[in-house]
Amino acid sequence: MHLTPDEVIFFQTGFVKINATIVTTWGVMVFLVLVSWWTTRQYRKNEMPARLRCALEMVVLGIESQIADVGLFRARKYVPFIGTLFLFLATSNAVVAIPGCEPPTGSFSTTVVLASFVFFAVPWFGVREHGFWGYIKGYFKPVFLMAPFHFISELSRTAALAIRLFGNVMSGSVIIAILLTIMPVFFPVLMTILGLVVGMVQAYIFATLAAVFIAAAVRSHENPECD
Amino acid sequence: MDSITLIASVSMITAASSTCLGCVIPALAEGRAIVTGLTAIAQQPDAAATITRALFVGLAMIESIAIYCFVVSMILIFANPFWTYFASKAQGG
């Protein structure tokens, strides 16, 4: 019984290890790219768009309205980053429903990488909004001595993002594996349903927290309600 | 008691009490959060969407504390470095 999909190795030469995490991640990526490409194949004006395109437009506009609700106004600039995070996480966590596949977010490396994306995106968007020195001045904002505490809090909330997602998904997989040895059919199905719900909630939480962190870096300190 | 027995027993006791405490205390905290959320929805039903969203975000943050304790228990049971070291020494030595 393995804790993470890292331990299922398909192919290994030298230091190159193809494990289940890499294979599942590439499968999710190929699936998302294929769906996007199929939907945006032909744009013909003055024609009723296809159903799949309408559905995906609903999803993207829903993400944009949620980002604006959280406090990040002019949400359209941030929809590519946060929307991709949410869609990738939702699809990866939904993989638990496919028999024989494990979600790649059950591996600590995937979640640490995604959290470090958010860690580097926050100063990226902050510098684009306020300029380099404007962003650095924000660290010293309430009191001059608060700068190291701001930095430490940024590191710790990034680590919390990674561990939250990893812990939720890994615990779901471990419980399903343990229950498979005890009672084969009934309880593992229930725990898979719970794992699907938890996975969707955690994907939403991850994207919402990323939006909140970026909003904290981007909002102007003179008028907190509009920018 | 030799060291391998000591490590095994302490690991088991710590793993169980870690999950136990990590389930009880966040459950109490989530109960309090839900009570406050329901009271707020009852007082202002048209803000229910905002309150529900904030409630779920808060519950996920409390839940993650419970998950930290669960992860520590899993590490102690399945990926315990002290156990693997001493078990390999007992087999080899």
Summarised one tens digit per residue, pLDDT across range A149-205 is: 889 999 999 999 999 999 999 988 888 888 888 887 788 888 899 999 999 999 999
pTM above 0.90, yes or no: no
Q: Do B67 and A171 touch (CB under 8 A)?
A: yes
Q: Which SS3 state, helix, strand or coil, does residue A18 take?
A: strand
Q: Which residues pair with A19 in a beta bridge?
A: A9
B81-92 vs B3-43: helix axis angle to the nearest 10? Answer: 160
In this structure, the dihedral spanned by the alpha carbons of residues A78, A70, A197 and A94, taken in order and rounded to 10 degrees, is 0
In this structure, the dihedral spanned by the alpha carbons of residues A183, A187, A189 and A193, taken in order and rounded to 10 degrees, is -160
Burial of residue A58 (CB within 10 Å: 0-12, 13-18, 19+) is exposed
User: Which residue of chain A has the CA closest to B68?
Assistant: A167
Strands A9-13 and A16-19: what pairing?
Answer: antiparallel
In this structure, the dihedral spanned by the alpha carbons of residues A31, A34, A40 and A42, taken in order and rounded to 10 degrees, is -150
Compute the nearest-CA separation of B49 from chain A (Å). Answer: 11
Summarised one tens digit per residue, pLDDT across range A25-80 is: 999 999 999 998 888 877 666 677 778 888 889 999 999 999 988 888 888 889 99
Compute the nearest-CA separation of A133 from chain B (Å). Answer: 32
- For residue A171, the one-letter residue type is S
Q: Count of CB atoms within 10 A of residue A126's CB?
A: 21
- For residue A37, the one-letter residue type is W
**Can you give the pLDDT at residue B93?**
57
- For residue B6, the one-letter residue type is L
